[in-house]
Structure 1
Amino acid sequence: MKIIVTLLTLGLLAFTPPKKEPVSKAMASAVRNFLNSLDTEQRKQATYPFDSDERFNWHFVPRERKGLPLKQMNDKQRQAAMTLLKTALSEQGYTKATAIIDMENVLRIVENRPANDTYRDPENYSFTVFGEPSEKEPWGWRIEGHHLSLHFSSLTNKIIDMTPAFMGSNPGEVRIEGPKKGKQILKQETALGYALLNALNEDQRKKAVISETCPNDIVTSNKRKASLDKQEGLAYSDMTGSQQKIFMELLNTYLGNYQITLANQQMDRLKESGLDKLMFAWMGDREPGFGPGKGQYYRIHGPTLLIEYDNSQNQANHIHTVVRDLTKDFGEDLLTEHYKNQHGK
């Protein structure tokens, strides 16, 4: 009989909101608690200097990763790690993150792999801390594994950046028999993308649909700095009120994965740069469905933000999504200014 690693055995229990306190304080406290739960060798494995190039070494494919994976933690340490994750995410975001981890068990069955397989491995999700929580010096942390890569950077008691933020799901919809059949982790991201496309009139769709061919992945991949040659598609300002409502629901589906203070922080930044400058673009098949030749891609693109959604692989049943800050991924611009002002660099 196959032994399935469950969320319970990993210590990834149901979401319980952290204590009501500033998110930066809660996150710093959770990082310290996590690090204090580790022995000397584990702590060495889990930590890097903040200026280490490892901070930019991110990807969303199955691979060996730096940091301390769940498989090398005891129950207490796993609880501390997941408590840290809860300080950053909303209930919606935490539910998605833990479901993505659990989806590795489905992939083991789909691909007929043994229960102890380490390629599709719900225990191969690593926590890494960069620097030490401080009120004066920058620090950060990440969780990363297959289809999940979340990054947080802090400076002067404030979380200054929460990107890149990658979430994916393979399969996008579980179609094998069993208790997970019908499961769609990123259901809203899919449904609202189609809802917005189908709400457009013919002239609007001519602007929004920039290609009949779907790319085979998110365009920016795992590049250290995300960029596109130009903004394309239909502008938010050219949508009707009802269309803008769907657009905002779609946008908030991504921002709403974060704890509310962090979500509001991102929304305030978008408003400052101008919501009217955001654009919606679509590539690929315009009707939902699976199979050869199918594939759907959309993006929300503005001066400071890029959100990409791609569902093209595995006969259009393999979803990748990413949120990138085009000006300060990894908090780089603010950190550069900090070093210049504080250290004369």
Structure 2
Amino acid sequence: MSETPRAAHPTRRDFVRTLGAAGLTAAVPLIGVRSIEAMPSLRTADEVGPKPTDPAESAVARLFATLSSEQRETICFPFDHPLRSRVENNWAIVEPTIDDMTAEQQELCREIMKGICSEDGFDRFMRQMDEDYGGFGAYHVALFGEPGSGGPFEWVLSGRHDTLRADGNSVPGAAFGGPIFYGHASKSFNEDASHTGNVWWYQGEQANAIFKTLDESQRAQALVDGSRAADASRTIELKGEKVPERGLLVSELDDQQKQMVRTLIEAMLSPFREADQQEVLACIEAAGGVDPMRLTYYTDGDIGEDGVWDVWKVEGPAFAWYFHGEPHVHTWLNVARTAPGA
């Protein structure tokens, strides 16, 4: 699939240079996000996250009921099919697009998409999809299991710069039902140093705000050479206690810097519905909070060589968020309560 540049929108990238850390933190859109520290009830909850009866999942069941036998042969799979857990930056999980569905089915897919997002996040995804792929209808969806039957199920959307899921918590202990991806190429394939118009760059602003607060010794630990893995999806494999000892350990930060790390995670969560936010935060707390995480900034991929780091990673025992902002934004995310085998 070709990567074609499209129109741009204004952004706030240069705030990294003009605002102090506190000002930038306040600028991050944290619509609907509850802070990690403000959710004590979730830290010991046995069940968090979306339910089969939530709006998105209810729409998945209604979509499944409308499918013809021919459609089911094309876009439906057993729940344990390997396609369900695949995550890529640019792929078609099935050949038909949403536009190939009936008008009712297209509207149900839009309802599902809206249901897995915050209001602000839905607007951002719609803008990203319009610019990257020609609109929501150009994307592809597949269904796994039998939604509405009482058994496990999952709806997966794929296309350029998106792998997103709705599963009603059918995958216990895995936030979002498995690893996800979202990205954006705004204005051109090779974005400028300001990432003009990129709907996700506010997350990069927050990450760079943290770096600006580090002293010389901390920066030396946080900044490493190299960035792009041969298989980017493998960079978010959960490693448990085997997290590589690179980057800066969050436990070594002061209280204000730790709060900025929490704010960064909340910025990552802000595009998504509250149920998924809650599950991610509960997973983080179950794995020891932010203290065991490491912050890594990569010297490679620094667009404009301006010291505003376009590529960075936050990684913990059961948390991996890889933000690759060169030549444009690619965001890989995998969160669970525990790493496999831990």
In the superposition, the TM-score normalised over structure 1's length comes to 0.71
Structure 1: 5+ residue stretches without partners: 7-16, 106-119, 334-345
Among 59, 71, 89, the alignment partner of 1:42 is 71
Q: Give the aligned partner of residue 340 of structure 1.
A: none
Among 145, 164, 169, the alignment partner of 1:150 is 164
Which whole-Å deviations, capped at 9, do the CAs of 1:223-277 have from their partners, x for residues lacking one?
4971566142112221122222221111111122221122112101211211211
Residues 195-344 of structure 1: pairs in structure 2 closer than 5 A: 195-211=209-225, 213=226, 215-216=227-228, 221-223=232-234, 226-227=237-238, 230-275=244-289, 276-284=291-299, 289-290=303-304, 296-313=310-327, 318-325=328-335
8 Å Cα contact 1:96-1:185 kept in structure 2: yes
Residues 54-65 of structure 1: pairs in structure 2 closer than 5 A: 54-61=83-90, 63-65=91-93
Residues 38-117 of structure 1: pairs in structure 2 closer than 5 A: 38-61=67-90, 63-66=91-94, 68-104=96-132
Q: Alignment partner of 1:65: what SS?
A: coil
**Per the alignment, do residues 38 and 137 of structure 1 end up closer, same or farther by CA in structure 2, a change over 3 Å counting?**
closer
Q: Alignment partner of 2:265: what SS?
A: helix
**Per the alignment, do residues 221 and 70 of structure 1 end up closer, same or farther by CA in structure 2, a change over 3 Å counting?**
same
Q: Structure 2 CA distance, aligned partners of 1:298 and 1:174? A: 19
8 Å Cα contact 2:296-2:314 kept in structure 1: yes
Amino acid at match of 2:94: K
Which whole-Å deviations, capped at 9, do the CAs of 1:31-51 have from their partners, x for residues lacking one?
122223333322332211112
Structure 2: 5+ residue stretches without partners: 1-5, 8-31, 33-49
8 Å Cα contact 1:88-1:259 kept in structure 2: yes
Which whole-Å deviations, capped at 9, do the CAs of 1:69-115 have from their partners, x for residues lacking one?
1220233221110111222221233223222211126xxxxxxxxxx
**Per the alignment, do residues 255 and 292 of structure 1 end up closer, same or farther by CA in structure 2, a change over 3 Å counting?**
closer
Q: Structure 1 CA distance, aligned partners of 2:323 and 2:280? A: 19
Q: Structure 1 CA distance, aligned partners of 2:185 and 2:223? A: 25
Which whole-Å deviations, capped at 9, do the CAs of 1:1-53 have from their partners, x for residues lacking one?
xxxx99xxxxxxxxxx9xxxx64312331112222333332233221111212
Q: Alignment partner of 1:277: what SS?
A: coil
Report the alpha carbon displacement of residue 160 of structure 1 after superposing the two structures with TM: 4.9
Report the alpha carbon displacement of residue 187 of structure 1 after superposing the two structures with TM: 2.2
Q: Structure 1 CA distance, aligned partners of 2:94 and 2:61? A: 19
Moved more, 155-164 or 94-103: 155-164
Moved more, 140-149 or 233-242: 233-242
Amino acid at match of 1:221: A
Tell me the matched-pair count.
288
**Per the alignment, do residues 160 and 273 of structure 1 end up closer, same or farther by CA in structure 2, a change over 3 Å counting?**
closer
Residue 29 in structure 1 maps to residue 58 in structure 2: yes
8 Å Cα contact 1:90-1:258 kept in structure 2: yes
Moved more, 262-271 or 165-174: 165-174
Q: Structure 2 CA distance, aligned partners of 1:45 and 1:224? A: 31
**Per the alignment, do residues 295 and 206 of structure 1 end up closer, same or farther by CA in structure 2, a change over 3 Å counting?**
closer
8 Å Cα contact 1:50-1:131 kept in structure 2: yes
Which whole-Å deviations, capped at 9, do the CAs of 1:300-324 have from their partners, x for residues lacking one?
11011000011222xxxx1111111
Q: Alignment partner of 1:51: what SS?
A: coil
Report the alpha carbon displacement of residue 161 of structure 1 after superposing the two structures with TM: 3.4
Report the alpha carbon displacement of residue 64 of structure 1 after superposing the two structures with TM: 4.1
Task: Give the share of equivalent positions with the same residue, in percent.
Answer: 19
Moved more, 88-97 or 269-278: 88-97
Residue 165 in structure 1 maps to residue 180 in structure 2: yes
Q: Structure 2 CA distance, aligned partners of 1:326 and 1:29? A: 24
Amino acid at match of 1:325: V
Report the alpha carbon displacement of residue 183 of structure 1 after superposing the two structures with TM: 1.8
Q: Structure 2 CA distance, aligned partners of 1:49 and 1:265? A: 25
